[in-house]
Chains A and B, each alone.
Chain A
Amino acid sequence: MTFKEGQPIYAQIADRLSDEILNGTYAPDSRVPGVREYAALLEVNVNTAVKAYELLARREVIYQKRGMGYFVATNAPEIIRTERRSYFCEHAMPQFFAQMKLLGISVDEMSEAYRRFMESHPNALAVAAVWAATLTAGL
Protein backbone atom coordinates (compact mmCIF):
# COMPACT_ATOMS: atom_id res chain seq x y z
CA MET A 1 0.00 0.00 0.00
CA THR A 2 1.30 3.43 -0.83
CA PHE A 3 0.79 5.88 1.99
CA LYS A 4 0.52 9.62 1.61
CA GLU A 5 2.37 12.13 3.72
CA GLY A 6 0.48 14.50 5.96
CA GLN A 7 -1.56 11.96 7.85
CA PRO A 8 -0.15 9.41 10.31
CA ILE A 9 0.00 5.89 8.89
CA TYR A 10 -2.25 4.45 11.57
CA ALA A 11 -4.90 7.04 10.73
CA GLN A 12 -4.71 6.10 7.05
CA ILE A 13 -5.08 2.44 7.97
CA ALA A 14 -8.13 3.25 10.12
CA ASP A 15 -9.58 5.17 7.16
CA ARG A 16 -9.08 2.22 4.89
CA LEU A 17 -10.85 -0.17 7.23
CA SER A 18 -13.65 2.36 7.66
CA ASP A 19 -14.00 2.54 3.86
CA GLU A 20 -14.29 -1.21 3.72
CA ILE A 21 -16.98 -1.14 6.41
CA LEU A 22 -18.88 1.58 4.53
CA ASN A 23 -18.79 -0.20 1.19
CA GLY A 24 -20.06 -3.39 2.79
CA THR A 25 -16.92 -5.55 2.67
CA TYR A 26 -17.34 -6.08 6.41
CA ALA A 27 -20.98 -6.08 7.45
CA PRO A 28 -22.09 -4.98 10.92
CA ASP A 29 -21.40 -7.61 13.59
CA SER A 30 -19.10 -9.54 11.25
CA ARG A 31 -15.45 -10.16 12.02
CA VAL A 32 -12.72 -7.94 10.60
CA PRO A 33 -9.27 -9.35 9.82
CA GLY A 34 -6.94 -9.85 12.73
CA VAL A 35 -4.42 -7.12 13.50
CA ARG A 36 -1.44 -9.13 12.28
CA GLU A 37 -3.26 -10.21 9.14
CA TYR A 38 -4.18 -6.64 8.26
CA ALA A 39 -0.63 -5.49 8.99
CA ALA A 40 0.72 -8.17 6.66
CA LEU A 41 -1.75 -7.19 3.96
CA LEU A 42 -0.69 -3.55 4.13
CA GLU A 43 2.97 -4.44 4.74
CA VAL A 44 3.29 -2.40 7.91
CA ASN A 45 4.54 -3.01 11.40
CA VAL A 46 2.01 -4.77 13.60
CA ASN A 47 2.14 -2.01 16.21
CA THR A 48 0.95 0.49 13.63
CA ALA A 49 -2.05 -1.69 12.83
CA VAL A 50 -2.73 -2.10 16.55
CA LYS A 51 -2.86 1.71 16.89
CA ALA A 52 -5.34 1.93 14.02
CA TYR A 53 -7.60 -0.70 15.57
CA GLU A 54 -7.40 1.01 18.96
CA LEU A 55 -8.43 4.28 17.33
CA LEU A 56 -11.45 2.65 15.69
CA ALA A 57 -12.34 0.89 18.94
CA ARG A 58 -12.27 4.25 20.76
CA ARG A 59 -14.71 5.64 18.18
CA GLU A 60 -16.81 2.53 18.78
CA VAL A 61 -16.66 1.61 15.11
CA ILE A 62 -15.29 -1.83 16.02
CA TYR A 63 -15.30 -3.80 19.27
CA GLN A 64 -13.16 -6.61 20.61
CA LYS A 65 -14.53 -9.99 21.64
CA ARG A 66 -12.22 -11.81 24.02
CA GLY A 67 -10.21 -14.44 22.21
CA MET A 68 -12.16 -13.98 19.00
CA GLY A 69 -10.80 -10.77 17.54
CA TYR A 70 -12.39 -7.53 16.40
CA PHE A 71 -15.94 -7.18 15.10
CA VAL A 72 -17.79 -4.39 13.27
CA ALA A 73 -20.19 -2.51 15.57
CA THR A 74 -23.89 -2.81 14.69
CA ASN A 75 -24.21 0.90 13.91
CA ALA A 76 -20.66 1.35 12.61
CA PRO A 77 -21.61 2.71 9.15
CA GLU A 78 -23.73 5.45 10.77
CA ILE A 79 -20.97 6.38 13.20
CA ILE A 80 -18.47 6.66 10.36
CA ARG A 81 -20.81 8.65 8.18
CA THR A 82 -21.73 11.02 11.00
CA GLU A 83 -18.10 11.71 11.85
CA ARG A 84 -17.12 12.22 8.23
CA ARG A 85 -20.17 14.39 7.68
CA SER A 86 -19.29 16.70 10.55
CA TYR A 87 -15.65 16.82 9.39
CA PHE A 88 -16.80 17.64 5.87
CA CYS A 89 -19.04 20.44 7.15
CA GLU A 90 -16.35 21.82 9.43
CA HIS A 91 -13.39 21.68 7.03
CA ALA A 92 -14.15 20.88 3.39
CA MET A 93 -17.26 23.02 3.10
CA PRO A 94 -15.76 26.28 4.37
CA GLN A 95 -12.77 25.77 2.01
CA PHE A 96 -15.15 25.07 -0.87
CA PHE A 97 -17.26 28.15 -0.10
CA ALA A 98 -14.14 30.30 0.19
CA GLN A 99 -12.99 29.11 -3.23
CA MET A 100 -16.45 29.80 -4.66
CA LYS A 101 -16.33 33.36 -3.37
CA LEU A 102 -12.79 33.82 -4.68
CA LEU A 103 -13.65 32.54 -8.16
CA GLY A 104 -17.04 34.23 -8.22
CA ILE A 105 -19.20 31.11 -8.53
CA SER A 106 -22.82 31.75 -7.48
CA VAL A 107 -25.05 29.38 -5.48
CA ASP A 108 -27.29 28.88 -8.54
CA GLU A 109 -24.29 27.83 -10.69
CA MET A 110 -23.35 25.39 -8.00
CA SER A 111 -26.91 23.96 -7.75
CA GLU A 112 -27.02 23.50 -11.51
CA ALA A 113 -23.64 21.76 -11.54
CA TYR A 114 -24.77 19.55 -8.66
CA ARG A 115 -27.94 18.55 -10.53
CA ARG A 116 -25.97 17.71 -13.68
CA PHE A 117 -23.46 15.71 -11.66
CA MET A 118 -26.19 13.63 -10.00
CA GLU A 119 -27.76 12.85 -13.38
CA SER A 120 -24.53 11.62 -14.97
CA HIS A 121 -23.16 9.84 -11.92
CA PRO A 122 -25.96 7.64 -10.55
CA ASN A 123 -23.47 5.71 -8.45
CA ALA A 124 -22.12 8.61 -6.48
CA LEU A 125 -20.94 6.30 -3.75
CA ALA A 126 -17.83 5.14 -5.62
CA VAL A 127 -16.70 8.67 -6.37
CA ALA A 128 -17.63 9.86 -2.90
CA ALA A 129 -15.68 7.13 -1.15
CA VAL A 130 -12.46 8.23 -2.80
CA TRP A 131 -13.21 11.87 -2.16
CA ALA A 132 -14.14 11.28 1.48
CA ALA A 133 -10.96 9.34 2.13
CA THR A 134 -8.84 12.21 0.93
CA LEU A 135 -10.54 14.62 3.31
CA THR A 136 -11.21 12.92 6.60
CA ALA A 137 -8.65 12.68 9.35
CA GLY A 138 -8.93 9.14 10.59
CA LEU A 139 -12.31 7.76 11.44
Chain B
Amino acid sequence: MLQISEIDFSYGRRKAPVFEHFSLHFYPGHIYGLLGKNGTGKSTLLYLMSGLLRQQAGIVRFEGTDVRLRRPEVLQEMFLVPEEIDLPHVSMERYVELNACFYPRFDYEVLMRCMNDFDLDPKAKLDSLSMGQKKKAFMCFALATGCRLLLMDEPTNGLDIPSKSIFRQVVARHITDDRTLVVSTHQVNDVAMLLDHVVMLQGTHLLLNRSVADICAAVRCEERALNEPTDDALFVQNSLQGHAVVVENNDPDDETPLNLELLFCCAEAGKLPLCLTC
Protein backbone atom coordinates (compact mmCIF):
# COMPACT_ATOMS: atom_id res chain seq x y z
CA MET B 1 0.00 0.00 0.00
CA LEU B 2 2.69 2.47 0.99
CA GLN B 3 6.28 1.96 -0.07
CA ILE B 4 9.22 3.94 1.22
CA SER B 5 12.16 3.28 -1.08
CA GLU B 6 15.74 4.21 -0.30
CA ILE B 7 15.05 7.61 1.16
CA ASP B 8 17.63 10.01 2.50
CA PHE B 9 16.43 12.78 4.74
CA SER B 10 17.94 15.43 6.94
CA TYR B 11 16.54 18.71 8.20
CA GLY B 12 19.29 20.84 6.76
CA ARG B 13 22.47 20.48 4.77
CA ARG B 14 24.60 20.80 7.88
CA LYS B 15 22.34 18.75 10.11
CA ALA B 16 22.73 15.07 10.90
CA PRO B 17 20.82 12.73 8.57
CA VAL B 18 17.62 11.32 9.97
CA PHE B 19 17.26 8.56 7.38
CA GLU B 20 19.83 7.02 5.05
CA HIS B 21 18.89 4.58 2.28
CA PHE B 22 15.83 3.81 4.35
CA SER B 23 13.18 1.47 2.99
CA LEU B 24 9.95 0.21 4.51
CA HIS B 25 6.73 -1.23 3.13
CA PHE B 26 3.29 -1.07 4.65
CA TYR B 27 0.56 -3.51 3.71
CA PRO B 28 -3.21 -3.24 4.13
CA GLY B 29 -5.07 -4.80 7.02
CA HIS B 30 -2.38 -4.38 9.66
CA ILE B 31 -1.80 -2.27 12.72
CA TYR B 32 1.82 -1.17 12.76
CA GLY B 33 3.59 0.05 15.85
CA LEU B 34 6.38 2.52 15.17
CA LEU B 35 8.74 2.56 18.12
CA GLY B 36 12.03 4.19 18.82
CA LYS B 37 13.84 6.36 21.33
CA ASN B 38 13.25 10.09 21.45
CA GLY B 39 14.60 11.86 18.42
CA THR B 40 14.92 8.83 16.16
CA GLY B 41 12.54 10.39 13.69
CA LYS B 42 9.22 8.69 14.27
CA SER B 43 7.25 11.88 13.63
CA THR B 44 9.55 12.69 10.75
CA LEU B 45 8.78 9.34 9.18
CA LEU B 46 5.05 9.96 9.48
CA TYR B 47 5.48 13.37 7.82
CA LEU B 48 7.54 11.83 5.03
CA MET B 49 4.88 9.16 4.51
CA SER B 50 2.15 11.76 4.15
CA GLY B 51 4.07 14.11 1.87
CA LEU B 52 4.35 16.80 4.51
CA LEU B 53 8.12 16.65 4.29
CA ARG B 54 10.17 16.13 1.16
CA GLN B 55 13.04 13.69 1.24
CA GLN B 56 16.33 14.57 -0.39
CA ALA B 57 16.58 11.25 -2.22
CA GLY B 58 14.46 8.19 -2.82
CA ILE B 59 10.71 8.04 -3.19
CA VAL B 60 7.62 7.37 -1.11
CA ARG B 61 4.72 5.90 -3.06
CA PHE B 62 1.16 5.36 -1.99
CA GLU B 63 -0.31 2.73 -4.35
CA GLY B 64 2.12 3.80 -7.02
CA THR B 65 1.70 7.58 -6.69
CA ASP B 66 4.45 9.78 -5.29
CA VAL B 67 3.07 11.33 -2.11
CA ARG B 68 4.98 14.57 -2.68
CA LEU B 69 2.57 15.41 -5.50
CA ARG B 70 -0.22 15.73 -2.92
CA ARG B 71 -2.82 14.40 -5.31
CA PRO B 72 -6.37 14.61 -3.93
CA GLU B 73 -6.94 10.89 -4.73
CA VAL B 74 -4.05 10.01 -2.42
CA LEU B 75 -4.91 12.57 0.28
CA GLN B 76 -8.46 11.19 0.43
CA GLU B 77 -7.08 7.84 1.50
CA MET B 78 -4.67 9.17 4.08
CA PHE B 79 -5.25 10.79 7.40
CA LEU B 80 -2.72 12.03 9.91
CA VAL B 81 -3.57 12.57 13.57
CA PRO B 82 -0.67 14.73 14.79
CA GLU B 83 0.60 14.88 18.32
CA GLU B 84 -0.84 18.34 18.91
CA ILE B 85 -4.11 19.25 17.34
CA ASP B 86 -5.43 22.63 16.33
CA LEU B 87 -9.17 22.72 15.79
CA PRO B 88 -11.28 25.67 14.59
CA HIS B 89 -13.95 27.49 16.53
CA VAL B 90 -16.83 25.40 15.22
CA SER B 91 -18.82 22.50 16.61
CA MET B 92 -18.09 18.91 15.50
CA GLU B 93 -21.36 18.89 13.56
CA ARG B 94 -20.28 21.97 11.63
CA TYR B 95 -16.76 20.62 11.23
CA VAL B 96 -18.17 17.48 9.65
CA GLU B 97 -20.41 19.55 7.37
CA LEU B 98 -17.37 21.42 6.11
CA ASN B 99 -14.82 18.60 5.96
CA ALA B 100 -16.67 15.36 5.29
CA CYS B 101 -17.28 16.28 1.64
CA PHE B 102 -13.57 15.79 0.97
CA TYR B 103 -13.73 12.15 2.04
CA PRO B 104 -16.04 10.17 -0.23
CA ARG B 105 -16.39 7.23 2.14
CA PHE B 106 -17.11 9.31 5.23
CA ASP B 107 -19.40 7.43 7.61
CA TYR B 108 -21.42 9.67 9.89
CA GLU B 109 -22.65 6.75 11.97
CA VAL B 110 -19.11 5.65 12.80
CA LEU B 111 -18.37 9.19 13.91
CA MET B 112 -21.40 9.38 16.18
CA ARG B 113 -20.71 5.97 17.68
CA CYS B 114 -17.09 6.88 18.46
CA MET B 115 -18.03 10.29 19.86
CA ASN B 116 -20.52 8.48 22.06
CA ASP B 117 -17.93 5.96 23.21
CA PHE B 118 -15.61 8.79 24.17
CA ASP B 119 -18.45 10.72 25.77
CA LEU B 120 -18.01 13.81 23.59
CA ASP B 121 -20.69 16.36 22.75
CA PRO B 122 -21.00 16.94 19.00
CA LYS B 123 -22.43 20.41 19.61
CA ALA B 124 -19.54 21.72 21.70
CA LYS B 125 -17.10 24.12 20.02
CA LEU B 126 -14.01 22.14 19.12
CA ASP B 127 -11.46 24.72 20.21
CA SER B 128 -12.96 24.92 23.68
CA LEU B 129 -12.19 21.26 24.39
CA SER B 130 -9.23 20.17 26.49
CA MET B 131 -6.17 18.76 24.70
CA GLY B 132 -7.20 15.17 25.42
CA GLN B 133 -10.76 15.77 24.24
CA LYS B 134 -9.55 17.45 21.05
CA LYS B 135 -7.43 14.41 20.34
CA LYS B 136 -10.34 12.05 20.92
CA ALA B 137 -12.65 14.12 18.72
CA PHE B 138 -10.09 14.26 15.95
CA MET B 139 -9.52 10.52 16.17
CA CYS B 140 -13.25 9.91 15.84
CA PHE B 141 -13.23 12.01 12.71
CA ALA B 142 -10.16 10.15 11.43
CA LEU B 143 -11.81 6.76 11.85
CA ALA B 144 -15.03 7.99 10.27
CA THR B 145 -13.32 9.21 7.09
CA GLY B 146 -12.90 5.61 6.02
CA CYS B 147 -9.46 6.30 4.62
CA ARG B 148 -7.19 3.39 4.02
CA LEU B 149 -4.08 4.68 5.74
CA LEU B 150 -4.33 6.18 9.18
CA LEU B 151 -1.25 7.66 10.77
CA MET B 152 -1.28 8.52 14.44
CA ASP B 153 1.49 10.31 16.28
CA GLU B 154 1.39 9.53 20.00
CA PRO B 155 -2.37 8.93 20.05
CA THR B 156 -2.59 7.99 23.71
CA ASN B 157 -0.52 10.91 24.99
CA GLY B 158 -2.79 13.07 27.06
CA LEU B 159 -5.63 10.56 27.25
CA ASP B 160 -6.94 9.56 30.64
CA ILE B 161 -6.90 5.86 31.56
CA PRO B 162 -10.50 5.03 30.63
CA SER B 163 -10.00 6.83 27.32
CA LYS B 164 -6.96 4.73 26.50
CA SER B 165 -9.12 1.67 26.89
CA ILE B 166 -11.87 3.14 24.74
CA PHE B 167 -9.24 4.08 22.16
CA ARG B 168 -8.18 0.46 21.91
CA GLN B 169 -11.75 -0.75 21.58
CA VAL B 170 -12.60 1.82 18.95
CA VAL B 171 -9.49 1.05 16.93
CA ALA B 172 -10.03 -2.70 17.16
CA ARG B 173 -13.56 -2.23 15.93
CA HIS B 174 -12.96 0.14 13.03
CA ILE B 175 -9.64 -0.83 11.47
CA THR B 176 -11.04 -3.25 8.92
CA ASP B 177 -9.07 -5.54 6.63
CA ASP B 178 -8.61 -2.96 3.90
CA ARG B 179 -7.30 -0.28 6.24
CA THR B 180 -3.89 0.20 7.79
CA LEU B 181 -3.05 1.99 11.00
CA VAL B 182 0.44 3.16 11.86
CA VAL B 183 0.84 4.23 15.46
CA SER B 184 4.00 6.03 16.48
CA THR B 185 4.40 6.00 20.24
CA HIS B 186 6.52 5.83 23.38
CA GLN B 187 3.60 4.53 25.43
CA VAL B 188 4.22 1.00 24.30
CA ASN B 189 1.90 -0.62 26.81
CA ASP B 190 -1.05 1.45 25.65
CA VAL B 191 -1.08 -0.15 22.23
CA ALA B 192 0.87 -3.40 22.66
CA MET B 193 -2.18 -5.66 22.38
CA LEU B 194 -3.43 -3.92 19.25
CA LEU B 195 -0.34 -4.29 17.15
CA ASP B 196 0.24 -7.07 14.72
CA HIS B 197 3.47 -5.68 13.30
CA VAL B 198 6.34 -3.98 15.07
CA VAL B 199 8.74 -1.48 13.50
CA MET B 200 11.61 -0.16 15.59
CA LEU B 201 13.86 2.68 14.52
CA GLN B 202 17.38 3.30 15.65
CA GLY B 203 19.60 6.06 14.33
CA THR B 204 19.06 6.29 10.61
CA HIS B 205 17.95 2.74 10.02
CA LEU B 206 15.53 -0.01 10.93
CA LEU B 207 16.23 -2.04 14.03
CA LEU B 208 13.29 -4.40 13.78
CA ASN B 209 10.55 -4.89 11.21
CA ARG B 210 8.59 -8.03 11.94
CA SER B 211 5.05 -9.19 12.55
CA VAL B 212 4.07 -9.97 16.12
CA ALA B 213 3.44 -13.56 15.08
CA ASP B 214 7.01 -13.89 13.77
CA ILE B 215 8.45 -12.35 16.91
CA CYS B 216 6.45 -14.61 19.21
CA ALA B 217 7.53 -17.63 17.19
CA ALA B 218 11.17 -16.58 17.47
CA VAL B 219 11.48 -15.48 21.09
CA ARG B 220 9.85 -16.00 24.44
CA CYS B 221 9.45 -13.29 27.06
CA GLU B 222 9.62 -14.93 30.46
CA GLU B 223 9.59 -13.90 34.08
CA ARG B 224 12.06 -15.89 36.13
CA ALA B 225 12.60 -15.95 39.88
CA LEU B 226 15.93 -14.75 41.20
CA ASN B 227 17.25 -18.23 41.81
CA GLU B 228 16.44 -19.50 38.32
CA PRO B 229 19.33 -19.58 35.82
CA THR B 230 19.49 -17.04 33.02
CA ASP B 231 22.45 -18.32 31.02
CA ASP B 232 20.25 -19.24 28.06
CA ALA B 233 18.79 -15.74 27.89
CA LEU B 234 19.49 -13.39 25.00
CA PHE B 235 18.71 -10.42 27.20
CA VAL B 236 18.07 -10.01 30.93
CA GLN B 237 16.41 -7.17 32.80
CA ASN B 238 15.65 -6.81 36.48
CA SER B 239 12.01 -7.07 37.45
CA LEU B 240 9.86 -7.29 40.55
CA GLN B 241 9.81 -11.07 40.53
CA GLY B 242 13.47 -11.38 39.75
CA HIS B 243 14.45 -11.26 36.11
CA ALA B 244 12.61 -10.57 32.90
CA VAL B 245 14.34 -12.47 30.14
CA VAL B 246 14.18 -12.85 26.40
CA VAL B 247 15.11 -16.31 25.22
CA GLU B 248 15.05 -17.99 21.86
CA ASN B 249 11.91 -19.97 21.31
CA ASN B 250 12.55 -23.55 20.34
CA ASP B 251 8.96 -24.74 20.45
CA PRO B 252 6.72 -23.12 17.83
CA ASP B 253 3.60 -24.39 19.59
CA ASP B 254 4.55 -22.90 22.91
CA GLU B 255 4.57 -19.14 22.71
CA THR B 256 4.50 -16.38 25.28
CA PRO B 257 2.73 -13.07 24.90
CA LEU B 258 4.97 -10.33 23.60
CA ASN B 259 6.43 -7.98 26.21
CA LEU B 260 7.09 -5.03 23.95
CA GLU B 261 8.94 -2.94 26.50
CA LEU B 262 11.31 -5.79 27.21
CA LEU B 263 11.75 -6.54 23.53
CA PHE B 264 12.49 -2.89 22.86
CA CYS B 265 15.24 -2.81 25.45
CA CYS B 266 16.57 -6.07 24.06
CA ALA B 267 16.64 -4.66 20.54
CA GLU B 268 18.24 -1.40 21.64
CA ALA B 269 20.95 -3.41 23.37
CA GLY B 270 21.58 -5.23 20.11
CA LYS B 271 20.61 -8.59 21.53
CA LEU B 272 17.96 -9.65 19.05
CA PRO B 273 18.42 -13.11 17.55
CA LEU B 274 19.65 -13.15 13.96
CA CYS B 275 16.34 -14.30 12.55
CA LEU B 276 14.70 -11.06 13.72
CA THR B 277 17.35 -8.54 12.72
CA CYS B 278 16.99 -6.38 9.64
| A positions within 8 Å CB-CB of B | 3, 5-9, 12, 36-37, 39-48
Contacts and interface: CB of A to CB of B under 8 A. Distances in A.
A6 B256 contact: yes
B195 interface: yes
Nearest to B166: A43
B172 A46 contact: yes
B190 to A, nearest CB: 10
18 contacts: A5-B222, A5-B223, A5-B256, A7-B256, A7-B257, A8-B256, A8-B257, A9-B193, A39-B172, A40-B170, A40-B172, A40-B173, A43-B172, A45-B31, A45-B172, A45-B194, A45-B195, A46-B175
B196 A8 contact: no
Contact of B216 (A8, A43, A44, A45): A8
Given A43-B193, A45-B195, A47-B196, A5 B257 contact: yes
B250 interface: no
Contacts of B173: 36-37, 39-40
Nearest to A38: B172
Contacts of A37: 173
A7 B257 CA distance: 6
Interface string B183-200: 000000000011110000
B23 interface: no
Interface in B178-214: 193-196, 212-213
Interface string B211-254: 01100100001110000000000000000000000000000000
A44 B257 contact: no
Contacts of A44: 172, 193-194
A36 B222 CA distance: 29
Task: Output the residue of A5, A7, A12 with the most chain B CB within 10 A.
Answer: A5
A5 B68 CA distance: 44
| Chain A interface SS verdict (over half) | helix
Contacts of A47: 196, 213
Contact of A43 (B168, B175, B259): B168
Nearest to A45: B196
Interface string B126-142: 00000000000000000
A3 B258 CA distance: 11
Given A5-B221, A7-B257, A43-B193, 6 more contacts: A3-B193, A5-B222, A5-B256, A36-B173, A43-B194, A44-B172
Task: Output the residue of A6, A12, A37, A41 with the most chain B CB within 10 A.
Answer: A6
Nearest to A4: B257
Nearest to A9: B257
A43 to B, nearest CB: 4
B255 interface: yes
A20 B55 CA distance: 53
A123 B257 CA distance: 33
Nearest to A3: B257
Contacts of B259: 5
Contacts of B213: 47
Contacts of A8: 216, 255-257
Contacts of B255: 8
B64 to A, nearest CB: 27
A45 B169 contact: no
B41 to A, nearest CB: 25
B116 interface: no
A53 B223 CA distance: 27
B277 interface: no
Contacts of A45: 31, 172, 193-196, 212
| A-B interface, 3 closest residue pairs, ranked by CB to CB distance from nearest | A43-B168, A40-B173, A40-B172
